[in-house]
Amino acid sequence: MTWEELADAISICQNCSLCKGRTNTVLGEGNRKSPLMFVGEGPGEQEDLSGRPFVGAAGQYLDRMLASIGIKREAVYICNVVKCRPPENRTPTREEQEKCRIYLDAQFELVNPQVIVCLGSTPARALIHPDIRITKARGMWHLKRGIYIMPTYHPAAILYDPTKEQASLYDISVVREKLRELRIYDQLSMGTEGNA
């Protein structure tokens, strides 16, 4: 599947009821060749209106997280587990996530990241283990199919509870060390090739 085919498939998808309430689907954005990928839960109101991921207050916090380790947003790829906004920003159901998984898997295939950061418990449960608890698992690496995956708090959770910020900044610093260990930090801190 090409990026164009993926975008077309998502734009007309009716695999679950989330399609009924959407304004726009939200594919994702950033460097489509990035070794570092961030996966969130699903679009919120601002994302649904704009068709872009993480554009509201949570997106601004994510930008600050990245800046704290010297990486610009344009250097990474950002997407969500589900591509349509759940009503009232509720957590997408397991069935909704499963119906959308074909698109997320296609993104993994196309981007081919070496490191994935799960923003919140929904992507952590989807990618690591269905029973994972973010408070216990955050900041810890999980190796799956040769990809290093780390869960951390969702930026919205930090905005709701600022006491989580220190842990979040620690987690992103651990991500930086992994990028250095894998010898890919320099290309991320300097390059933004392959944007879309």
At 19-52, the pLDDT tens digits run 999 999 999 999 999 999 999 999 999 999 999 9
* The CATH number of the domain covering residues in 3-190: 3.40.470.10
Query: In 3-state terms, what secondary structure has residue 112?
Result: coil
Average pLDDT in the 106-117 region?
98
Question: pLDDT value at position 193?
Answer: 47
Share of the chain above pLDDT 70, in %: 97
Kindly list the distances between the CA atom of residue 156 and the CA atoms of 13, 45, 46, 101, 142, in Å, as whole numbers in the listed order: 27, 13, 13, 23, 23
Q: Is 130 exposed, middle or buried (0-12, 13-18, 19+ CB in 10 A)?
A: exposed
CA distances 172 to 36, 125, 162, Å, are 12, 19, 16
Query: Which alpha helices (DSSP H) does 76-138 contain, by range?
Result: 94-111, 121-127, 134-137
The number of angstroms, rounded, from the C-alpha of 21 to the middle of its chain's C-alpha atoms is 22
Q: Is the pLDDT of residue 191 over 80?
A: no
Displacement of CA 90 from its chain's centroid (Å): 17
For residue 139, the tally of other CB atoms under 10 A from its CB is 17
Cα–Cα distances in Å, from 12 out to 23, 25, 32, 66, 191? 12, 9, 22, 32, 33
Output the pLDDT for position 190. Answer: 73
The residues that bridge with 119 in the sheet, in sequence order, are 152
pLDDT digit string (tens) for 49-102? Answer: 999 999 999 999 999 999 999 999 999 999 999 999 999 999 999 999 999 999
Residue whose C-alpha is closest to residue 126's, from 147, 100, 154: 100
Position with higher pLDDT, 78 vs 196: 78
Percent of the chain with pLDDT over 90: 95
State how far the Cα of 132 lies from the Cα of 120, in Å rounded to an integer.
Answer: 11
